[in-house]
């Protein structure tokens, strides 16, 4: 059976199409989100920075912790932190529990972009619901949850792509 573009679908689809389509869907959402963020004053934010900001978290983290969370070296994490600091998304501060350590913390600008990202993801999901219908989107999400192993949501995508 062929889809609206004349391509194979269902059981006739080639095995490589599933990961390509999943990635293309992911990429289209991320690209559109970043176009929206650029229009809201965050033109300097790259997709990889979103993972890094998530790795910093609400309570802050050391460069080593950020590197582990992202699956990259401490040095690579440090470079990303430097870029984010230069762009005003994070700041370094003394760790109140250990004065020898430096914590990377989100600034107001970092929190702002995370809030705007969450709102943007909600808008993009709503668009998918408009096009596909709420039942199909919920079913797709449920199917993906069933197929994705427990604990598979990790922030190490940037490191994984570079392995």
CB 28 within 8 A of CB 131: no
Give Cα 46 distance to the centre of its chain: 10
Tens digits of per-residue pLDDT, 140-155?
A: 999 999 998 876 666 5
pTM over 0.85: no
Residue 87: strand, helix, or coil: coil
19-28 contacts at long range (C-beta below 8 A, 24 or more positions apart)? none
Tens digits of per-residue pLDDT, 84-124?
A: 999 999 999 988 888 788 899 999 999 999 999 999 999 99
- Residue 136 pLDDT more than 90? yes
**What is the DSSP-derived secondary structure letter of residue 112?**
H
CB 76 within 8 A of CB 51: no
CA-nearest of 68, 71, 94, 67 to 81 is 67
Cβ neighbour number for residue 13 with a 10 Å cutoff: 14
């Amino acid at each position: 059976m062929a889809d609206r573009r004349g391509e194979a679908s269902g059981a006739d689809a080639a095995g490589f199409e599933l990961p390509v389509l999943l990635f293309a869907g992911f990429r289209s959402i991320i690209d559109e989100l970043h176009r929206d963020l650029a229009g809201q004053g965050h033109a300097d934010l790259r997709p990889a920075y979103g993972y890094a900001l998530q790795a910093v978290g609400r309570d802050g983290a050391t460069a080593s912790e950020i590197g582990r969370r992202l699956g990259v070296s401490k040095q690579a994490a440090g470079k990303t932190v430097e870029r984010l600091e230069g762009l005003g998304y994070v700041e370094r501060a003394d760790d109140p529990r250990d004065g020898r350590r430096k914590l990377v913390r989100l600034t107001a600008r970092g929190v702002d972009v995370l809030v705007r990202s969450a709102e943007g993801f909600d808008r993009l999901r709503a668009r998918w619901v408009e096009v596909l219908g709420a039942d199909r989107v919920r079913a797709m999400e449920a199917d993906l949850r069933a197929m994705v192993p427990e604990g598979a949501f990790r922030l190490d995508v940037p490191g994984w792509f570079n392995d």
